[in-house]
Structure 1
Amino acid sequence: MKASKIFLVAASMSMSAAAIAAGAHDGGHGAGSGEPGKASEASRTITVEMYDNYYDPEEISVKPGETVRFMVENKGKLVHEFNVGTPDMHEAHQEEMMMMVEHGVIQGGKLNHDMMNMDMGNGHSMKHDDPNSVLLEPGQSKEVVWKFSEKGNIEFACNVPGHYQAGMYGEVNFE
């Protein structure tokens, strides 16, 4: 078994029982980092390339209150996420992403879009449609427009199980 698969299995086994019971994947995972921005108000565009377990660039600088348009491209061989938030938000979100793996939504290098639409009860699904985040298959690109709040401990990360732990996160530095 390849080391990456062993790591993924180990990461999945270390997830809490709460992750298994959590269910749905939705609900504004960017709390504390800012708010959705309007593309017309973006001061600049930053291209972010995702590779298998790292980003290019690995850090960005923003001003408090700045709106940035991110053009995110997955240049890796696996499904990856670009998600702007606090470290605590990423930790909680990783549990939901584990559910996406356990239910067959994330399948290595592809997404099962039918499973993303599955009704998990109480109006919840496994859609990955938060405004601070994109989940991309290899070769895909999408944009995220985000207005950063006041200075804080903010990062961008891939919360696909095992990816954050392998170093796939970057710092947001405030100028």
Structure 2
Amino acid sequence: MFLRKTLTLAACWLAISSPVWAAPAHTYDFGQPASASQASRSVEIVMEDMTFEPKTLELKAGETVRFVLVNKGQLLHEFNLGDAAMHAGHQQEMLQMQQSGMLTPTGMKEMSHGMAGMDHAAMGHGMKHDDPNSVLVEPGKRAELTWTFSKATNLEFACNIPGHYQAGMVGKLTVSQ
């Protein structure tokens, strides 16, 4: 009994006295977010239910692009920059958000009972949609994402809401020298 109390007290002391570790900042080898004022051009992307228009984009390394996203569909959609592996991982996070009730077919819910803003280390970035390479757009709404592409690469822009990518809501993005 004494040993258990001593270990419990020691664990509590360590928890209180240890520094708070911040989640690592997201870094992307293909670029970084930028302000809209840095953009050399704007590209409008229309989101309908399970499609993007245009379906392909060609950009130059070093270019900063302001993506103007218009959701003309009836469902919530996402615009996410990355490669296929990144999208597969993000789809699992989005599925967890949907299963928790936070993600609905037409929007995001504010979670009560301690869920709002709660970081889930197992999800990698918390149960919130805050990745700098991604934006959610509700039906009938517009949003923007501005990105500087650092190197030549082949990427995808995709909607990772459960089932949308699999239904074809993905486009090709080629960044050349």
Residue 118 of structure 2 corresponds to 119
Change in Cα spacing, 1:128 to 1:27, as seen in structure 2 (3 Å) is: farther
**CA–CA distance in structure 2, aligned partners of residues 103 and 27 of structure 1:** 24
In structure 1, stretches of 5+ residues that fail to align are: 1-25
Preserved contact between residue 120 and residue 127 of structure 2 (Cα < 8 Å):
no
**CA–CA distance in structure 1, aligned partners of residues 64 and 91 of structure 2:** 26
Kindly report structure 1 stretches of 4+ aligned residues shifted beyond 3 Å. 120-125
Preserved contact between residue 155 and residue 170 of structure 1 (Cα < 8 Å):
yes
Give the alignment's TM-score, normalised by structure 1.
Answer: 0.77
Asked if residue 138 in structure 1 is aligned to residue 139 in structure 2, the reply is yes
Residue 28 of structure 2 corresponds to 31
Paired residue for 1:102, among 86, 99, 105? 99
**1:110 Cα deviation (Å)?**
2.5
Paired residue for 2:60, among 60, 63, 72? 63
Residue 174 of structure 2 corresponds to 173
Paired residue for 2:42, among 42, 45, 58? 45
Aligned-partner SS, 2:66: strand
Aligned-partner SS, 1:114: coil
**1:128 Cα deviation (Å)?**
1.1
Superposed CA RMSD in Å reads 2.2
Aligned-partner SS, 1:96: helix
**1:121 Cα deviation (Å)?**
4.7
**Structure 2: which amino acid aligns with 1:145?**
T
- Overall identity of the aligned pairs, in %: 46
**1:32 Cα deviation (Å)?**
2.8
Preserved contact between residue 117 and residue 125 of structure 1 (Cα < 8 Å):
no
**CA–CA distance in structure 2, aligned partners of residues 64 and 124 of structure 1:** 28
**CA–CA distance in structure 2, aligned partners of residues 134 and 75 of structure 1:** 15
**1:136 Cα deviation (Å)?**
1.7
Preserved contact between residue 43 and residue 65 of structure 2 (Cα < 8 Å):
yes
**CA–CA distance in structure 1, aligned partners of residues 169 and 125 of structure 2:** 28
More displaced stretch, 163-172 vs 118-127: 118-127
Give the alignment's TM-score, normalised by structure 2.
Answer: 0.76
**1:109 Cα deviation (Å)?**
1.7
